[in-house]
Each structure stands twice: as C-alpha cells, then as structure tokens.
Structure 1
Amino acid sequence: MRLRQADIATDPDAFEAFYRRHVDAITSFLARRVADPNTVADLVAEVFVAVLDSAHTYRPGRGSEIAWLYGVARNTLSAERRRVFKETRLADRVGGHRPLDSDDVAELEARIDAESLARRAFQAMAGLPDGDRAMLELVVIDQLSIGEAATALGIRQGAARARLHRARRTLRDVPEMAPFVMEGTR
C-alpha cells in the first residue's frame, strides 16, 4: 500500500495503518543512533508528527515511502542533535562561571536601584509616538544637541524641536519625570 498524502494527513485510519507499517523500522533506525530509550521514544513520536505536517512533500516518483520516512527521521534526529549540542554548549559556558556571592548580589541590587528612575522613564516613554520617543531618547539619554538629534533622525531642526516639546509636555505630568525629561537642552 502506497502513501497517499491527503489520506494520512486527514484520515486517522490511514495514518494508523501507515504508522503500524513503519513504526518498527523507524524505531530501529533511531535506536541504532541513540542509546537512551526515552529519547528514542520521543524521537519516534516526533517523526510521526512531522509526517502529518509534511505528508504533502512525499513524491512517489522520487522513491519509496520508507525512504522518504527515513529522510524525515534523519531530519528529526539532526534537529535533536543540534538542540542537544546548543544546550550542552550553553551549559558548558555557564558551568565555567562562579556563582554570585553576597557582595556581587549587593552590588547588582544597588545598580538596579540606581537605575530605577531610568527604567520608569523608559516605561513612560513607551507610550509616546515613535518619533517623539526617539527624539527624547537622543536628547535626554544620549545627550545629543537638538541639531545632532535632528540629523540622526533625518528630520529638520524645527520638526525635531516640535517632537521634543510634545514628548516633554506629555511626560512632565508623570510623577518624578519632569526633572528627568527637562535635562539635555543643549
């Protein structure tokens, strides 16, 4: 019996028959390459889920359904190996670092507290139109002049002044923001 893409993707009985025909072969294929039985079971399941998603790619003229299925299994195994490799590499990178001691934590807490006004400013600025927010960031945070900020944004100086004025007017009513947004007027 040949694979018919539409059948296994939409007909549970056709998929079950396809699964029963090939599950042993796919399990053996993966068991030859992976030593952990739980991983093999997970990969077998992933292969058959991938079959449901990619049944439309099977072309009988290119080879047998088992050859196509081995290709799906190989791709699934490759994806798993890439995932494990990335996970291992990340664990190795993190594993070489010492845990934070109490002094490090205290320093981080102090930095976080010191930046709380800036975080609140960014939260308040998030509600501004993009152009107004960009202008305010360049002048107040990056300390550019209005002319430099206008050049950076590719707008005229008059438009830059209008954007900055709108942004400041909007944020001056936000508690603690008035002094912050009025900085950087060079």
Structure 2
Amino acid sequence: MSPENAVRPIGRDPDAFEAFYREHLEAVQRFVARRVSSVHDAADLTAEVFVAAIEASDVTPGGVDPRVWLYAVARRVVANHLRRQARGVRAVARLQGRALLDDDAVERIAARLDDERAARRLLREVADLPRTQREVVELVAVDGLSLVEAAAVLGVSPGAARVRYHRARARLLPSAALREVTS
C-alpha cells in the first residue's frame, strides 16, 4: 500500500491501524510531549490523536501524506486540550483555589527551574514570535517536517510557510548571537 493510501483503511482494518500506529506512535508522542507539561496528559492526548485519526480516516482526501495528515490531527487535538485546560485554570482562579507546597516541593521546583533556564529563554523567544511564525518553527525545527509538509499541516502555501520561517529565524538569530557575545 502506498503511503498516500495508508490513511483510509485504518478506520476499517485493525491490521492496517496497527501498522499505522506502530509507524507513527513515536512521532506523535514527541509532538504531544513538546506541547504539554504533564506525562499523563501526553499519554492521554497521544491516545486521543489516534482515536481522532480513526474517526477521520474515512473523510480524508486521497493522496494525503499520512505523517503530515497525522500532525494536523495531533495539532487539533492538542489545541483543543490546551483550550480546555485554560478554561479550567480560569475557573479555578475564579474560585481562588490554591494548593499549598511544602518546603521540599519548593526546593525541587526551584532546582528544576534553574536547570532549565536556557531552554526557557529560547522557548520564551519562540513564544514571543507571532503565532503564524511560531507554528512553522515548531513544525520544522522541532517536529522535523519540511517546509512543504509544515505548510500542508497549517493549510497555507509552501511560499507562505517559507516566508514565515525566514522571518522567525531573522527574529531569533540576532538574540542568539548577542547571547554568544555576552557569555
């Protein structure tokens, strides 16, 4: 079966789904894990991505690259999760609910934060990018998609994806060069 025809049968054929799942599980896990902070959420969302893939397999247009299609499914599942999570946070804030931390927990968190300072700085800079540029950077630089594949996931032309990626790199590279000089 050609890669372009690998999506449709997964909703009907358990063997096709198993092969599809085994081939794409690791990529989906990496995609999801980079976007959520909880191990449990990552596991649940990975499963949810494959359930959504099964449900959407019959309405998928022919000739679609399975990996690009699955990243688009994963992107929607994660986005929905993050929206639900944000609503929950707002609800908790309205109720003024607070969880108290003991001294050991505070120390562990502080040590972890110190260890991840450089990564947080880079993530902050990426997060400060306009959403359209940030999405392309995540799909290309983090998820390993080509610009053409990222464009397909985002539903834009390859030219638009290239422009967004170029602009994002132009914004990120000067601050990285400045850090090198000042370090």
| Structure-2-length-normalised TM-score | 0.48
Query: Which of the pair has more CA radius of gyration?
Result: 1
| Structure-1-length-normalised TM-score | 0.48
